[in-house]
A and B are shown apart, each in its own frame.
Chain A
Amino acid sequence: MCLGIPMRVVKVDGNTALVEQGGVSKRVRVDFIRDLHPGDYVIIHAGLAIERVKPDEAEETLRWLTMIGE
Chain B
Amino acid sequence: MADDDWRMKYVDEFRDDKLAREIATEIRQEASGPLKFMEVCGTHTMAIARHGIRSILPENVRLISGPGCPVCVTPQWQIDSFIELGKLHDTILATFGDMIRVPGTCSSLEVEKAHGADVRIVYSPLDALEIARVNPTKRVVFFAVGFETTVPAVALAIIEANKLGIGNFFVLCGHKLIPPAMMALATDPEIKINGFICPGHVSAIIGSAAYEEIVRLSGIPCVVAGFEPLDILQSILMLVRQVVKSRAEVENQYSRVVTREGNVPGMKCIYEVFEVGDAEWRGLGIIPRSGLRLRPEYARFDARQFLSLPVVAEHSGTTGCECGSILKGVKSPLECRLFGKRCTPEHPLGPCMVSSEGACAAEYRYAR
Q: How many residues of B contact A (CB 8 A)?
A: 54
Chain B residues whose C-beta falls within 8 Å of the C-beta of A48 in the assembled complex: 124, 126, 152-153, 156
Among B70, B152, B256, the residue within 8 A (CB) of A61 is B256
Chain A residues whose C-beta falls within 8 Å of the C-beta of B23 in the assembled complex: 65, 68-69
User: Would B126 and A47 count as touching, CB distance under 8 A?
Assistant: yes
Task: For A54, give the chain B residue with the smallest CB separation.
Answer: B256
B258 CB–A CB distance under 8 Å: yes
Complexed CA–CA distance, A41 and B230 (Å): 20
Task: For B72, give the chain A residue with the smallest CB separation.
Answer: A1
Chain B residues whose C-beta falls within 8 Å of the C-beta of A46 in the assembled complex: 96, 123-125, 146, 149-150, 153
Q: Is the interface of A mostly helix, strand, loop or mixed?
A: mixed
Given contacts A32-B269, A48-B156, A58-B256, contact A6 B10 (CB under 8 A): yes
Chain B residues whose C-beta falls within 8 Å of the C-beta of A43 in the assembled complex: 201, 204, 257
B88 CB–A CB distance under 8 Å: no
Give the interface centre of A5, A21, A31 by most chain B CB atoms within 10 Å: A31
Given contacts A31-B265, A65-B19, contact A2 B123 (CB under 8 A): no
Chain A residues whose C-beta falls within 8 Å of the C-beta of B234 in the assembled complex: 61, 64-65, 68
- Residues 59-78 (chain B) with a chain A CB within 8 angstroms: 68-71
Q: How many residues of A contact B (CB 8 A)?
A: 35
- Residues 1-59 (chain B) with a chain A CB within 8 angstroms: 6, 8-11, 13-14, 16, 19, 22-23, 25-26, 41-44
Contact with B along A22-34 (1 / 0, CB 8 A): 1000000101101
User: Would B253 and A61 count as touching, CB distance under 8 A?
Assistant: yes
- Residues 285-320 (chain B) with a chain A CB within 8 angstroms: none
- Residues 41-66 (chain A) with a chain B CB within 8 angstroms: 41, 43, 45-48, 50-55, 57-58, 60-62, 64-66
Chain A residues whose C-beta falls within 8 Å of the C-beta of B70 in the assembled complex: 1
Contact with A along B117-141 (1 / 0, CB 8 A): 0000001111100000000000000
B255 CB–A CB distance under 8 Å: yes
Complexed CA–CA distance, A3 and B11 (Å): 13
Chain A residues whose C-beta falls within 8 Å of the C-beta of B93 in the assembled complex: none
User: Would A1 and B69 count as touching, CB distance under 8 A?
Assistant: yes
Chain A residues whose C-beta falls within 8 Å of the C-beta of B71 in the assembled complex: 1
Chain B residues whose C-beta falls within 8 Å of the C-beta of A53 in the assembled complex: 10, 256-257
Give the interface centre of A57, A64, A65 by most chain B CB atoms within 10 Å: A65
Chain B residues whose C-beta falls within 8 Å of the C-beta of A6 in the assembled complex: 8-11
Give the interface centre of B41, B42, B156 by most chain A CB atoms within 10 Å: B156
Among A8, A32, A58, the residue within 8 A (CB) of B265 is A32
Complexed CA–CA distance, A69 and B29 (Å): 12
User: Would A50 and B124 count as touching, CB distance under 8 A?
Assistant: no
User: Would B255 and A45 count as touching, CB distance under 8 A?
Assistant: no
B82 CB–A CB distance under 8 Å: no
A4 CB–B CB distance under 8 Å: yes
Task: For B127, give the chain A residue with the smallest CB separation.
Answer: A47
B333 CB–A CB distance under 8 Å: no
Nearest Cβ on chain A to B150's Cβ, whole angstroms: 6
- A-B contacts, 24 of them at CB < 8 A, read A1-B43, A2-B44, A2-B147, A2-B149, A4-B201, A21-B8, A29-B126, A31-B269, A32-B263, A34-B265, A45-B149, A45-B153, A46-B149, A47-B127, A53-B257, A54-B255, A54-B256, A55-B256, A61-B234, A64-B234, A65-B16, A65-B19, A65-B234, A68-B23
Given contacts A2-B199, A22-B8, A45-B153, could you give 20 more A-B pairs where the C-beta distance is less than 8 Å? A1-B69, A1-B150, A1-B202, A2-B41, A2-B201, A5-B11, A6-B11, A29-B153, A31-B265, A31-B269, A45-B149, A45-B150, A47-B123, A50-B205, A51-B204, A57-B256, A65-B230, A68-B26, A68-B237, A69-B23
**Measuring CB to CB, which residues of chain A are less than 8 angstroms from any residue of chain B?**
1-6, 8, 21-22, 29, 31-32, 34, 41, 43, 45-48, 50-55, 57-58, 60-62, 64-66, 68-69
- Of all A-B residue pairs in the complex, the 7 with the closest CB atoms, nearest first, are A47-B124, A69-B22, A2-B201, A6-B10, A57-B256, A58-B256, A32-B266
